[in-house]
Amino acid sequence: MPYALYNKLYALPPSCRPMSRQILIVSAHPDDMEIGMGGTVAKLVEERAEITSLVVTDGGRASNPFGWTEQRMADVRRTEALRAAEVLGVTEVIFCDQPDAADEVDEVAVRRKLVAVMTRLKPIEVYTLHEELDRHPGHRQAGRLVRESAAESDLMPSGGVWAYEVWGPFARWDRLEYIDVYVEKKRLAIAEHRSQVATIPYGDGVLGLNRWRAVFADPMAETPAGTYAEVFLRVAIGR
């Protein structure tokens, strides 16, 4: 679907949009979706989309000032992810429970899971992390696995495959979503990841980026079109 047509179609009131909009969001860690695109998720849910979140790793080796075991951290982060998903209105959360280290992830198993989920959902859109521009190796791995799995499953989502930003702002973007109405939901969803924001202020950091995105979105504009925004890059799916 050309992006101009995408904008035109989804600028319609929710009652005029397609009844079933399956959307798949793939993250490397339990909090990536909320940080990178929590506002857009809330926006899509309000537009009657059904969101499935798939998390590759268990996040067990994350920042841990509590002295917890890796397993306890993984268990806590699963609970936090479910709570955050509820805040945003996500329909389903799928955990692959892979080790929180890119070189220990069973890529064959993850691709198998992704292909099965893509085949079942036939999503109109897929979101993931960028396989080249994100600075986190686990994020790059997740982005690559999504691209490979989409090609293997012969999936060509009509709304496109999109990368969202977390560890490393994009120098350019193909799509910008204003999230002014949804920024508080994003803030609350990130705050549900209490084990992580205890030492790293992810919410403050990314909302500052979202503010910058909105203010500097258009160098020719006389005034910003919004207050907060999230941006995305289109991902090409090869055959």
With a CB cutoff of 8 Å and minimum separation 6, the contacts of 153 are 114, 115, 118, 119
Per-residue model confidence as pLDDT tens digits over 49-107: 999 999 999 999 998 999 999 999 999 999 999 999 999 999 999 999 999 999 999 99
**Residue 31 CB partners (closer than 8 Å, separation 6+):** 59, 77, 80, 81, 84, 190, 193, 196, 202
What confidence category does residue 21 fall into, taking pLDDT thresholds of 50, 70 and 90?
very high
Percent of the chain with pLDDT over 70: 91
CATH of domain 3-11+19-234: 3.40.50.10320
Q: Are 166 and 35 spatial neighbours (Cβ–Cβ below 8 Å)?
A: yes
Q: Which two tokens stand for residue 230?
A: 């999230």
Would you state the pLDDT for residue 1?
A: 35
Residue spans per domain, the chain: 3-11+19-234
pLDDT in tens, 223-235: 999 999 999 999 9
What is the structure's pLDDT at 8?
40
- Provide the CB-side half-sphere exposure for 124 (13 A, CA): 17
